[in-house]
Chains A and B, each alone.
Chain A
Amino acid sequence: MTLHSPKFEKDLCKRIKQAIRSSPELRREHRTAKKYRRQYSGTLFVWLLIAFVPGFLIWSIQDIVSRPETALALITLWGFSLIAFRAQSLLSCLFSSRDLRTFALLPVSEQTIFRWELQKFFHGSLISPLHFLGAFSAFAWLFAFSPLKWLAVLPLALLTWAVTVAAGGFCAARRPLFPYQLVFTGFVLLFFVILLSQKFVAQPLIALLDHYAFGLNLISPSGWPVSLFQLLLPNPRWANLILLVPIAALLLTFKKSLARLSNRYQYREQTIPPVADLVPPSETAEPATPVRAGQQPLRLGPTAIEEVIRSRQFLLSVPWHNAGWFENLLWRWFSEREKNLADFVFPNGFAIGEPWKTIFRNLAVALFVALLVDLISPAAKLWVLGIGLFITVTHCLAQILVTGRAFQLIMSNGVGIPMYAGLGIGLRELAGLLVKCSMAQLPLLCLFTVACSTVVVWQLSAPLELGIWYGLKITILVLGGRFIALIFGFSSGTNDTSRIRLRTISLIFSVIFLVLAFIGLAAASLLIPDQRFALPLLVLTLAEAYATFRLYGWFYHANRFDLMRIPQR
């Protein structure tokens, strides 16, 4: 069975056009409909813009890079982030695509759906060669390549793309639960920071990259085809040719990865048991003997349900606030209204203590393993430490910038409406609740950032008190970041950027400008060594983030956009 029949569609279109031509009324309707179709989607433009970032990055940092390997390592890192992105988009295409619900109702085999979704994934990934083409072209331009060498640029860009797709497939098939989206977002932010804050951020980072460029290009799969590009540069390292072996091996795994994903690709109807916490304690305590396999489970009759309702038990929120000291503190801090909203934002409760225990445990494990590895190889220690810090920082950010179900969209009449908007919940009250959730975790965040930055300064052999300063500053900056993250959270459920008109442009430009100013101020307050200047800058950064949020709030309250996400056509 095929999902797409070009011949059928062509014939149908022909017949429709004939019918429209024959009727003046239909012609009129058709003209209106055509106008409606003529929409401008900014997504493709943004993707094209992003595709040229690596090339621009190479071109813009040429002055501070001492060796071409370092710039190549930057492309490797970009490729690495694309691997994470590809893994995430493959999983999204296959398992959470919107058309899956429709397919579930049609007599279509799972393998056909799999092929269809895979095709969509490939179409989506076709823009990636541009990323590498841009980066390699920037190199070719800087090193004044001969026409013969220019010929090798396109095949190498395509090979790098193929490697990222294969590696993405490998990751998606073997580690489907890994937070790839976060990895990708983290890298994109890093690249933008490098671009925008060359003096403060790019220079120390490039220096670090310069040190480990060779190893990075060798270890990361995205670095293998990039290392082949090195053969086109002056002083080629011909031993790099051996990397063709792992490249071929990785490309060969793609078929197996797809087979693995395909084997798991089965539609399963979700069956969720009744919510246990609503059953009155007397009812749950009664059946002393556990339910054995094959035995019918206890079913609640209307009388028991009536009791749950009559006793007002159903109106009680999930008792997550009893789970720990921090949860209790947060609960007591909430106003009555916020307690009600918390029930909506966290219908399954909100945990603070347990996730932070995991974060600190992971950090301790990473430190311990790094110290052990240090006995064998000091270079490997840095890798272990870097990966450990990356994972724990990602987890920490996810915990501190928590949004729960606040911005969940519900599809209605073809548009996604955020639930909070449908239920008449305001921007300020929802934002206030989420900020309180973050602020209640500040002591833990502070402890974590101080620990992490102390480890980093210890590695750099800098004074330890510097680590404490950095930790405290980063804590404040993350709090500022909370306001920026809120803007993106609210924006995710609106059409605030979807149409080219004055109000949209003014909103986009002012928010982009203020977010960039936030990044710049944050970098400056972090990197200026004199605390007399750094501390006022830090306060200014926090105030600036709050002002940015208030500005977005003004646009929101002035009805400058709709609270619904209109899917792209």
Chain B
Amino acid sequence: MNIEFRGVLKSYGSVRALDHVSLLIQPGQIVTLLGPNGAGKTTLIRCIAGIAAPDKGAIYLDDHEFKRDRLDLRRRMHLLPDFPFHFWEQSVVRNIAIVLRIFEADGNGAEERVLELLRDFDLLPLALRPVNSLSRGQAYKAGLVAMLAADREVWLLDEPFASGMDPHGIDAFKRHARAAANRGRTILYSTQLLDVAERFSDRVCVIHKGEIRAFDTLERLRESANDKDNVLEEMFRQLRSSG
């Protein structure tokens, strides 16, 4: 699915969270959103998910203008915020089942997919436990399993690497995300971890004060950088000094 921002402006009071953002994200990519706190990363993700409404401009999904009544478009995306949408008193599998049924992804083979994912994320022994009895990282993994099992075209993740997941979970997520991108899925995630962004992205989108400062592959960004080994760090230093 092509995601295109055309002059999107979004303000909260006098703060411009997105300042005339124009951007085209093509399918089959892992896109990392980078930027200082309050730069507009989460707002950008929320705009795609239909939660935040742009004040000006529009978002086009496969050349269709995205409005909230376009449920066909909305169901092709899956949002996983920093605290997943769980019924916390329900069990892990029940929460997964609810998500699968909402996205109508509960057809044949769903059970094997869920089983494999639960195993991959070390959640199988905890599958019948209520989510509120799990640790934060485990609860996040439960949301992630639901997302991977539903397997929508666009995955929107807000700070997945600051979610309390253990290294094994992070590794499993990366493997599944890479495989999904190869299948043509688009994965858009925000992070503050520059080394993760360097290793786990096809494109990097640097956002600062609501403006897109860079949107390119890491190789291209390296070409234009002075410090080629620490291209993202240099970029952040420049952002700070430019104000």
Interface residue ranges, A against B (CB under 8 Å): 25, 28, 32, 35-36, 38-39, 270-272, 274-275, 278-279, 300-302, 305-306, 308-312, 314-317, 337, 340-341, 343-344, 347, 405, 410-413, 417, 419, 421-429, 499, 556-564, 566
When distances are taken between beta carbons in the complex, the residues of chain B under 8 Å from A429 are 71
Contact (A274, B128) CB under 8 Å given A421-B51, A424-B77, A561-B53: yes
Docked pose: A69 CA to B100 CA in angstroms:
62
Top 5 A-B pairs ranked by shortest CB distance?
A559-B53, A412-B81, A424-B74, A340-B101, A35-B14
Docked pose: A308 CA to B50 CA in angstroms:
35
Contact (A272, B130) CB under 8 Å given A413-B42, A558-B67, A564-B52: yes
When distances are taken between beta carbons in the complex, the residues of chain A under 8 Å from B100 are 315
Interface residue ranges, B against A (CB under 8 Å): 12-15, 42, 46, 49-54, 67-69, 71, 74-75, 77-79, 81-87, 89-91, 93-94, 96-104, 106, 110-112, 114-115, 118, 124-125, 127-130, 132-133, 158, 243
Let me know if A427 and B87 touch, CB within 8 A.
Answer: no
In whole Å, how far is A152's beta carbon from the nearest beta carbon of chain B?
46
Let me know if A315 and B91 touch, CB within 8 A.
Answer: no
Which of A270, A274, A306, A312 touches B132 (beta carbons < 8 Å)? A270
Let me know if B52 and A562 touch, CB within 8 A.
Answer: yes
When distances are taken between beta carbons in the complex, the residues of chain A under 8 Å from B14 are 32, 35-36, 38
When distances are taken between beta carbons in the complex, the residues of chain A under 8 Å from B79 are 422-424
When distances are taken between beta carbons in the complex, the residues of chain B under 8 Å from A412 are 81-83, 158
Let me know if B98 and A347 touch, CB within 8 A.
Answer: yes
Let me know if B128 and A422 touch, CB within 8 A.
Answer: no
When distances are taken between beta carbons in the complex, the residues of chain A under 8 Å from B91 are 274-275, 278
When distances are taken between beta carbons in the complex, the residues of chain A under 8 Å from B96 are 314
Let me know if A278 and B115 touch, CB within 8 A.
Answer: no
Let me know if A305 and B125 touch, CB within 8 A.
Answer: yes
In whole Å, how far is A430's beta carbon from the nearest beta carbon of chain B?
11
When distances are taken between beta carbons in the complex, the residues of chain B under 8 Å from A28 are 243
Docked pose: A271 CA to B52 CA in angstroms:
35
When distances are taken between beta carbons in the complex, the residues of chain B under 8 Å from A308 are 93, 127-128
Let me know if B128 and A279 touch, CB within 8 A.
Answer: yes
In whole Å, how far is B238's beta carbon from the nearest beta carbon of chain A?
15
When distances are taken between beta carbons in the complex, the residues of chain B under 8 Å from A305 are 93, 124-125, 127-128
In whole Å, how far is A260's beta carbon from the nearest beta carbon of chain B?
28
Let me know if B98 and A344 touch, CB within 8 A.
Answer: yes
A-B contact pairs, 22 of them (CB 8 A): A36-B13, A39-B13, A272-B132, A272-B133, A302-B125, A305-B124, A308-B128, A310-B111, A314-B111, A316-B97, A317-B101, A340-B102, A405-B87, A410-B86, A411-B83, A412-B81, A412-B158, A417-B81, A421-B51, A426-B68, A557-B68, A559-B67
When distances are taken between beta carbons in the complex, the residues of chain A under 8 Å from B110 are 312, 315
When distances are taken between beta carbons in the complex, the residues of chain B under 8 Å from A562 are 46, 51-53
Let me know if A422 and B49 touch, CB within 8 A.
Answer: yes
In whole Å, how far is A550's beta carbon from the nearest beta carbon of chain B?
12
When distances are taken between beta carbons in the complex, the residues of chain B under 8 Å from A413 are 42, 81-82, 158
Let me know if A275 and B130 touch, CB within 8 A.
Answer: yes
Docked pose: A343 CA to B99 CA in angstroms:
10
Which of A275, A309, A559 touches B118 (beta carbons < 8 Å)? A309
Let me know if B50 and A424 touch, CB within 8 A.
Answer: yes
When distances are taken between beta carbons in the complex, the residues of chain A under 8 Å from B103 are 423-424
In whole Å, how far is B207's beta carbon from the nearest beta carbon of chain A?
15
When distances are taken between beta carbons in the complex, the residues of chain A under 8 Å from B69 are 426-428, 557
